[in-house]
Amino acid sequence: MAPMLYSLYGFAIFFFIFWCGKWVVHLIALFYGRVKLHKKIIQHPVEVPYPGVSILKPLMGVDPHLFGNLESFFTMSYPTYELLFCIEDDIDPSIMLVKRLQEKYPNVDSKIFIGGERVGVNPKINNMQPGYRAAKHELIMISDSGIRMKEDTLLDMVHHMKDNVGLVHQMPFSSDREGFAGTLEKIYFGTVQARIYLAADFVGVNCHTGMSTIMRKALIDEVGGIKAFGCYLAEDFFFAKSMTDRGWRISICSQPAWQNSGICEVNSFQARLTRWAKLRVAMVPYTIVFEPLSECMVIGGIASWAVSFLFNLDPLVFYLVHILVWFLLDWILLSIIQNGSVSFGKFDFVVGWLFREFSGPCLFVRALWDPVIQWRTRTYRLKWGGIAEELKPKVKV
């Protein structure tokens, strides 16, 4: 019995320490978010001009918000930048939309690249390759179609490109949208994702999501350009890893990325989270153990057993207090990320928060159960290390 008792003590101590560590992450995110985010950058005349930025915009299809999202790039307050629209299919309806914006803003330097170039399995890299090759500025920005910019967002990002920084990215967040799906997205990006993102940036760990990113083009060219990352589906993670491996820092800017896709549905959002989980497991295998333990309901239940075993505390009372405090800190963090009042009520937050917390572990199990990734019309299988191979549909004879 003694060896088993020692093992139980060991597990209990480990889970209790891990639980304490999660509260440290909460506190780091709250204080760092308050200090880091939503700082107003004022554009002053300087002797050294601001560096030019080449903005790659990979597009596929049109949603109800696309025109407004793209227009926000034509109206940015930044001295020198170019817009490089990359579209895979020559009959894509986004082409006409971009041409309308070019006619509306003729003074903005913009070009359209159609057809892409196959340099790997990643369709986004393939789509952007012609635009990247034509980019003429020292900074390169990759921005997803669903991102909406403020006038000073680009200035804010370049402001954070210090001499020792190779990559600046925006912390993912969500625009105000109606419906339960919009509430769910905002809760996820303003709590779970924000907590990890802020804590990772504070300690200098790679937690890069490349929906809105600026990089030093020379550093990407050193390793062969963006086509060198075409073998990965999560090219954003490996962009950042390439920088940190060579001693460069990565940093978030003070403005979160405003995701504003016109398609907002619970099923599509959960499919997106499941795909991200599959990528994390392939790239960082210890995610299999630590990610489920990071969930509120899971770590709370295990920690309740641990404190009951170690300190003879009531596990049910401990579990309920754990959930309540976690919930309150998430509400405070969301308010910090939002920089004001959220667009939904407290009851909506309670329902959305509980739904997210209970569904999160289930989505992770689903990701482990089926590692194949569906991305638009294509199917991929991931190998350890994040390298992907495209699965071609079987031809019936």
Q: pLDDT tens digits for the chain (397 residues)?
A: 567 776 888 899 999 999 999 999 999 999 999 999 998 876 665 556 899 999 999 999 999 999 999 999 999 999 999 999 999 999 999 999 999 999 999 999 999 999 999 999 999 999 999 999 999 999 999 999 999 999 999 999 999 999 999 999 999 999 999 899 999 999 999 999 999 999 999 998 888 888 999 999 999 999 999 999 999 988 999 999 999 999 999 999 999 999 999 889 999 999 999 988 888 888 877 777 788 899 999 999 999 999 999 999 999 999 999 999 999 999 999 999 999 888 899 999 999 999 999 999 999 988 888 878 877 778 888 777 778 888 875 544 4
* Structural domain of 24: 2-33+279-389
Note the pLDDT of residue 396: 44
Note the pLDDT of residue 320: 97
Note the pLDDT of residue 2: 64
Q: Does residue 198 sit within a domain?
A: no
Rounded alpha-carbon distances, angstroms, from residue 314 to 5, 22, 78, 309: 20, 21, 58, 10
* Residue at token pair 């990759």: 142
Q: Does residue 252 sit within a domain?
A: yes
Note the pLDDT of residue 374: 78
Note the pLDDT of residue 47: 55
State whether 291 and 332 are in the same domain: yes
* Residue at token pair 């980019």: 135
Note the pLDDT of residue 184: 96
State whether 134 and 10 are in the same domain: no
Q: Does residue 307 sit within a domain?
A: yes
How many CB atoms are closer than 10 A to CB 266? 15
State whether 235 and 122 are in the same domain: yes
Q: Does residue 51 sit within a domain?
A: yes
- Sheet order of strands, 139-143 included: 110-114, 81-87, 53-59, 139-143, 212-216, 165-169, 249-252
Q: What CATH number did the domain enclosing 158 receive?
A: 3.90.550.10
Note the pLDDT of residue 388: 80
Q: Is 15 exposed, middle or buried (0-12, 13-18, 19+ CB in 10 A)?
A: buried
Separation between Cα atoms, residue 35 and residue 12, nearest integer Å = 35
Q: Does residue 56 sit within a domain?
A: yes
- Closest to 227 measured CA to CA, from 137, 128, 143: 128
State whether 23 and 93 are in the same domain: no
Q: Does residue 238 sit within a domain?
A: yes
Q: Which residues fall within 8 angstroms of residue 351, CB to CB, at 6 or more apart?
A: 180
- Closest to 26 measured CA to CA, from 246, 239, 325: 325
Token couple for 322: 């754990």
State whether 373 and 321 are in the same domain: yes
Q: Measured over all CA atoms, what is the biggest interatomic distance in the chain, rounded to whole angstroms?
A: 80
State whether 227 and 298 are in the same domain: no
For the chain, the domain total comes to 2
State whether 82 and 216 are in the same domain: yes
State whether 245 and 307 are in the same domain: no
Note the pLDDT of residue 44: 60
Note the pLDDT of residue 395: 42
Token couple for 304: 């309740």
Residue type, 386: G
Query: Which residues are known to be catalytic?
Result: 236
Tell me the β-bridge partners of 263.
Answer: none
Bridge-based pairing state of the strands 110-114 and 81-87: parallel
Note the pLDDT of residue 71: 98
- Closest to 307 measured CA to CA, from 9, 4, 25: 9
- Write b or e for each residue in 334-366: b if 16 or more Cβ atoms lie within 10 A of its Cβ, otherwise e: bebbbeeebebeeebbebbbeebbeebbebbeb
Q: Is 281 exposed, middle or buried (0-12, 13-18, 19+ CB in 10 A)?
A: buried
Q: Is the entire prediction scored with pTM above 0.85?
A: yes
